[in-house]
Amino acid sequence: MKKRVIALLLVAVMAMGMFAGCGKKEEKNFSDGGKVLNIYAWNEEFKGFFEKYYASKIPSDVKVNWIINVSDNGLYQQKLDDALAAQANASADDKVDIFLAEADFITKYADSNATVDVKALGVTDFSNMYNYTVQAASDSKGVVKGVSFQCCPSALIYRRSIAKDVLGTDDPAKVQEALNSWSKFESVAATAKEKGYYMTASFASTFRVFSNNCTSAWVNGNKELVFDKAINDWIAQTDMFVEKQYTLKDGIWDDPTTDQMYKDGKTFCFFGPAWYFNFSMTKAQDAEKGCSGDWAICQGPQAHFWGGTWILGAAGTDNATLVADIMNAFTNDKDIVSKLVENEGQYPNNKAVAATYAADDTKGAVAFLGGQNATAVFAAMTDNIKWENHTKYDQLLNEGLQNKLQEFYKGSVSKEKAMENFKTYIKETYPEIVVK
Amino acid sequence: MEKPAKTKKKHGVSYAKWGYIFILPFFITYFIWSFVPQVLTFGYSFFKMYRSGLDQIGPEWNGIQNYVELFTTKLDGIPTVVKYAGNTMIMWIAGAIPQFLIALLLAVWFTSFRLNIKGQGFFKTVIYMPNLIMASAFSMLIWTVFSVTGPVHSLFVNSNLITEEFDFFFNKVSARSIVAGINFLMWFGNTTIVLMAGIMGIDQSLVEAAMIDGASSIKVFFKITLPLLMPILTYAVITSLIGGINMYDVPFILSKGYGTPDNTTMTLIMNVQQKLSTAKNYGSAGALSVLIFFFSAALSLVVFKFFVPHDSLKNMKKGGK
Amino acid sequence: MANTQRIERADYLSKKGRVMLMISRIFVYLILFFLAFLCLFFFYLLIVNSTRSHAQLNEGFSLIPRGNFLKNLKSAWTDGTVNIPRGMLNSFIIAISSSVLATYFSALTAFGIHCYDFRFKKAAFTFILAIMMIPSQISVVGFIKMCNTFGLTNNYLPLILPSIASPVVFFYMKQYMESILPLEIVEAARVDGASEFYTFNRIVIPIMMPAIAVQMIFSFVASWNNFFLPGMLIDKPERKTVPIMIAALRSADYKKFDMGEIYMLILLSIIPVVIVYIFISKFIIKGVAAGSVKG
């Protein structure tokens, strides 16, 4: 009797839980006339731009409500996912209208029913946006779900003085010529080593360059884990770089790596976009110990990007026109986009605006790069960037591979064990991926 | 030694209802806030239930498949759960042994009239202070101390203990020791306070009488203080054990969630979190939680058994003297 | 106090005893100072770090304070994204309410089980011990789902009320009563005609004061430092707690990211807890004085 009561109770409770979990139906995609514009973000960056450059255009009867949750412990995505799951039944004032996504996890949202076709909302002109930013926000059928207010082409950032020592020149065109393929990159690394330099400061420095240029996805149609040739090439090159001491064994943000940015650093190059050398190479910019001006950029072996934030429209938004207007403002409104470049140090997702800065060496000159016009370099390489073969699993697959391989480079485990640990990590993280 | 007699019906009045009344708020609160989520956890463990991106997979009846998978996913030839349980226990014990030895010593010293320690207020405040810092902030500080660019590394290099770069976070022994060390440092003050309050609750006339009879302080400790402290010590050991099994944020932050090196600092709850955070794998995480529950219940039972001669449960059965 | 003197007299009988006492005192102080050093070292490091600018922190570990304390204090206190005074008030309200509820009701529950005979007494005790062992990490997710369903987000009730059922605090109270609470006192109160509630509030609570103070500190600290649950339930800026604010500074975008400000906020967040600790620990001593009446 007692047992039966418990069993019944369990069934009842389970049923409750299932109702909470399901309840998904095809909802009407968007509407207008909402009085509250809900925007989900993980920090205040976009809020700052929004308030400076757009807030005055908001209709007076619409209230903007920012829901900012940090990305620590997956908090941001967890709360966003819950809100999107509840979207159909949420009251008008609680519906998510806009949310932000990073390159690392945009596919999860763009390739889902939780986002809305921005063309239907009223964003129709993509001619000035960089192709990869549009591809990134598209679902598997090619429907565009969002736009990016930043473009993050990533360059090879080299020390001019070391380039002179190793290559005999610090001229960006000649340096690019010497480094335009991986085999050249490797032979320069060997020369640099002979002269007492490291080629890169972290084993993970070149990872994004390879992974952005994969010819197949991490996970295939049968949900099987696949090692692309580019990934295998990265592993092989990094094994060799670590063994021959062309690079260091720490992560890109760790102190041993970033210490190499000081004047007494011995590293030939780093990889990164404008935001990286503007805001994250603070050690190189240090007034006493840094070496501002001793840097320059070129494309390097392969075009790639790093980071960026996309604005996505949530399915079920009740402020469709306003959402589209915001998206247009931060991509197609030349006034606002120019202000993002001049006041906020952004590289714009607008080819026309970028071209005006690229053409103007006085406006485009960057003191940190010894007066080089960075926009011109980025503008030339941005069209070569691809967004192909991405999956919703990429973020943890990429990070997991790097972290597990680092244990091999640090001498904790053998190469085979590191790969086995990586596969186990994937098995325990993603139940649906088949790992052989 | 006096033992409390049980309250019996007196003057024909039953006090039993007061027992129910007094425990009612606890049970009402528990059933409102915790019961449903906990039963759901148990239930989920029999379902295939996770998210693939934003899409919900399941729930779909899965029998004991989640449990089977926990034991068939292996590392180094042993099931990962067993490995993680081992890691958790090793790091807990390595921190708990010094924690209890020091805490017992300090509690006795602080309460000793004979030693009459000056500046007690200062010491009591200071030893508890590590517990006041958030584990995440503490781990940040520890990181700066033990990193390859930190002071400990250069100390080792300068004294020729190591000749080339040695990353403490990438060596099994040192990584686990750091986790255990942080746990020790964060919790020994806490345990000291618990034991001290317990010792201060002991009727001092007993200690005094023994002292006058010429018993040494060591004898007094083992024959009088320790037996009377047993209920509190049992509490301290059990809660430390439960805290140990729930160990999560320190190893998580120090290893970025990867259990570096070679999954040797991966704890059970880190694994639960790994299953929950991305794929919302309630099925597998639920099964693991059920296992963790039985694991801690079994270990707690062992602790109870170990303390059984002095255990309150036994006295309860006998109904006191 | 009379007790103390008598014990000391017993010890001061011989000269040898005095020398031994001297040696053990030196030993004890050495260990105490070593442990105090270990504990204070990290606070010193925290304070030093809060005096360094972001660029100075970039240089790595250092024990030398720098001159940016006031600058960091100003940027933390006036940060546009987090309202620290407000956050401290919020954290305080939650922590103090939940620690008072946790200790009072745990003592009440423990008293109910310790002092009364009723049919499900043993079952209730075993049940509470069992739920104490359920890992909190996983039921938290279901808990949050439930709060979302009932619209309890941005509400402090789910952060405060559940502490009425704190198995760990209960277990401590139960064990403490086991070792020090004589049931004769309760019986005597009954003979005097006191009601059961009066007995608990006026007689048992004072005796339990050391235990209550101890657990109050622990609950307060646990609640004060809790990040995950408040983080999941609260997103209105004016309702955020200190740990959420620290996390917000840590995930600031690369332009605003300032380690100096983060260390400062961590330091600031500790000060109220230290004050509460010093304040409550006085009750441990007071409580012992009250408790000793029984002897």
Tokens of A43: 């920090």
Least CB-CB distance to C251: which of A70, A78, A255?
A70
Instruction: Give the gap in angstroms from C-alpha C283 to the nearest C-alpha of chain B.
Output: 11
Average pLDDT of C78-82? 83
C123 touches chain B (CB under 8 A): no
Pick the last residue of a domain from C28, C59, C75. C75
Instruction: Give the gap in angstroms from C-alpha A118 to the nearest C-alpha of chain C.
Output: 26
Beta carbons of A114 and A311 less than 8 angstroms apart: no
Cβ of C59 and A289 within 8 Å?
Answer: yes
Question: Residue C17 has what pLDDT?
Answer: 77
Mutation for B interface: A223, A410, A423, most B CBs within 10 A: A410
* % of chain C residues with pLDDT over 70: 91
**Residues with Cβ < 8 Å from C2, sequence gap 6 or more?**
none
**Within a 10 A sphere around the Cβ of B164, how many other Cβ atoms?**
6
∠ CA A297-A300-A302, nearest 5°, is 135
Nearest one of C259, C220, C262 to C245, comparing CA atoms: C262
User: What stretches of A50-183 adopt beta strand conformation (E)?
Assistant: 63-68, 96-102, 146-148, 153-159
Rounded Cα gap, residues C28 and B94, in angstroms: 23
**Within a 10 A sphere around the Cβ of C134, how many other Cβ atoms?**
22
Question: Residue A4 has what pLDDT?
Answer: 53
Rounded Cα gap, residues A158 and A199, in angstroms: 10
Same-domain pairing of A249 and A102: no
Rounded Cα gap, residues A201 and B153, in angstroms: 20
C164 touches chain A (CB under 8 A): no
| Beta strands A63-68 and A153-159, pairing class | unpaired
Mutation for A interface: C66, C235, C261, most A CBs within 10 A: C235
Domain span at C29: 2-75
Same-domain pairing of C215 and C174: yes
- Using a CB-CB cut-off of 8 Å, the residues of chain A touching C81 are 44
ipTM for the predicted complex comes to 0.88
Beta carbons of B228 and B302 less than 8 angstroms apart: no
B1 touches chain C (CB under 8 A): no
Nearest one of B253, B264, B259 to B135, comparing CA atoms: B253
Domain span at A281: 153-304+368-429
C35 touches chain B (CB under 8 A): yes
C152 touches chain B (CB under 8 A): no
Cβ of B18 and C40 within 8 Å?
Answer: no
Per-residue pLDDT of chain A (436 residues; tens, 9 = 90+): 455 555 555 555 554 444 444 444 444 578 888 899 999 999 888 999 999 999 999 998 999 999 999 887 778 998 899 899 888 888 888 899 999 999 989 999 999 999 999 999 999 999 999 999 999 999 989 999 999 998 999 999 999 999 999 999 999 999 999 999 999 999 999 999 999 999 999 999 999 999 999 999 999 999 999 999 999 999 999 999 999 999 999 999 999 999 999 999 999 999 999 889 988 899 999 988 999 999 999 999 999 999 899 999 999 999 999 999 999 999 999 999 999 988 888 889 999 999 999 998 888 888 999 999 999 999 999 988 989 899 999 999 999 999 999 999 999 999 999 999 999 999 999 999 999 8
Cβ of A431 and B50 within 8 Å?
Answer: yes
Does pTM surpass 0.95? Answer: no
pLDDT digits (tens, 9 = 90+) for A170-228: 999 999 999 999 999 999 999 999 999 999 999 999 999 999 999 999 999 999 999 99
Question: Residue A198 has what pLDDT?
Answer: 97
Nearest one of A301, A327, A253 to A155, comparing CA atoms: A301
Q: Establish, for the pair of chains B and C, how many residue pairs have beta carbons separated by less than 8 Å.
A: 304
Question: Residue B207 has what pLDDT?
Answer: 80
Beta carbons of B218 and B241 less than 8 angstroms apart: no
Question: Residue B5 has what pLDDT?
Answer: 44
Same-domain pairing of C19 and C43: yes
Question: Residue B186 has what pLDDT?
Answer: 94
A332 inside domain = yes
C62 touches chain A (CB under 8 A): no
DSSP of C172-233: HHHHHHHHH--HHHHHHHHHTT--HHHIIIIIIHHHTHHHHHHHHHHHHHHHHT--HHHHHH
Same-domain pairing of C18 and C85: no
Same-domain pairing of C90 and C153: yes
Same-domain pairing of C36 and C127: no
Same-domain pairing of A272 and A400: yes
Instruction: Give the gap in angstroms from C-alpha C23 to the nearest C-alpha of chain B.
Output: 10
Nearest one of C137, C234, C147 to B282, comparing CA atoms: C137
Nearest one of A219, A223, A432 to B69, comparing CA atoms: A432
Query: Collapsing DSSP states into helix, strand and coil, what is residue C82?
Result: coil
Same-domain pairing of A255 and A381: yes
C154 touches chain B (CB under 8 A): no
The domain tally of chain C equals 2
Tokens of C276: 């509460």
Rounded to 5 degrees, what are φ and ψ at A318?
-110, 25
- Where does the pLDDT of residue C254 fall: very low under 50, low under 70, confident under 90, or very high at 90 and above? confident
CA dihedral over C283, C288, C289, C291, signed as positive or negative: positive
Give the CATH number, domain containing residue A347: 3.40.190.10
- Using a CB-CB cut-off of 8 Å, the residues of chain C touching A279 are 254-255, 257
The domain tally of chain A equals 2
Question: Residue C287 has what pLDDT?
Answer: 52
Rounded Cα gap, residues A349 and C273, in angstroms: 48
- Using a CB-CB cut-off of 8 Å, the residues of chain C touching B23 are 108-109, 112-113, 124
- What's the residue count for chain C? 295
pLDDT digits (tens, 9 = 90+) for C191-239: 888 888 999 999 899 888 888 998 999 999 999 999 888 988 998 889 9
Same-domain pairing of A61 and A100: yes
B51 touches chain A (CB under 8 A): yes
Pick the last residue of a domain from C75, C106, C139. C75
Q: Which residues pair with A100 in a beta bridge?
A: A311
B56 touches chain A (CB under 8 A): yes
List all chains that touch chain A, counting a touch as 3 or more CB pairs closer than 8 Å: B, C
Query: Please, where are the H alpha helices in A104-154?
Result: 106-110, 118-121, 131-136
**Within a 10 A sphere around the Cβ of C215, how many other Cβ atoms?**
26
Q: What fold, for B62-318?
A: MetI-like fold (1.10.3720)
Same-domain pairing of C52 and C195: no
Per-residue pLDDT of chain B (321 residues; tens, 9 = 90+): 334 444 444 445 678 889 999 999 999 999 999 998 888 888 999 999 999 888 888 889 999 999 999 999 999 899 999 999 999 999 999 999 999 999 999 998 988 877 888 888 889 889 998 998 888 889 889 999 999 989 999 999 999 888 888 999 999 999 999 999 999 999 999 999 889 888 887 777 888 888 788 888 788 888 888 888 888 898 899 999 999 999 988 999 899 899 999 999 999 999 998 998 888 899 999 999 999 999 999 998 898 888 755 444 444 443 333
pLDDT digits (tens, 9 = 90+) for C17-44: 788 888 989 999 999 999 999 999 999 9
Least CB-CB distance to C109: which of B23, B33, B188?
B23
**Residues with Cβ < 8 Å from A371, sequence gap 6 or more?**
A293, A365
Same-domain pairing of C50 and C105: no
Cis status, amide bond into B261, omega within 30 of 0 = yes
Cβ of A82 and C148 within 8 Å?
Answer: yes
Rounded Cα gap, residues B286 and B48, in angstroms: 10
Same-domain pairing of A105 and A196: no
B258 touches chain A (CB under 8 A): yes
Tokens of A434: 């088949």
- Using a CB-CB cut-off of 8 Å, the residues of chain B touching C201 are none
- Numbers of helices and strands, H then E, in chain B: 15, 4
Same-domain pairing of A183 and A157: yes
Same-domain pairing of C132 and C270: yes
Same-domain pairing of C116 and C237: yes
Rounded Cα gap, residues B43 and C182, in angstroms: 43
Same-domain pairing of A142 and A173: no
List all chains that touch chain B, counting a touch as 3 or more CB pairs closer than 8 Å: A, C
Rounded Cα gap, residues B115 and B112, in angstroms: 5
- Using a CB-CB cut-off of 8 Å, the residues of chain C touching A260 are none
Give the CATH number, domain containing residue C290: 1.10.3720.10
Cis status, amide bond into C182, omega within 30 of 0 = no
Tokens of B120: 């007690």
Amino acid at site B302: V
Cβ of C251 and A42 within 8 Å?
Answer: yes
C136 touches chain B (CB under 8 A): yes
Same-domain pairing of A87 and A168: no
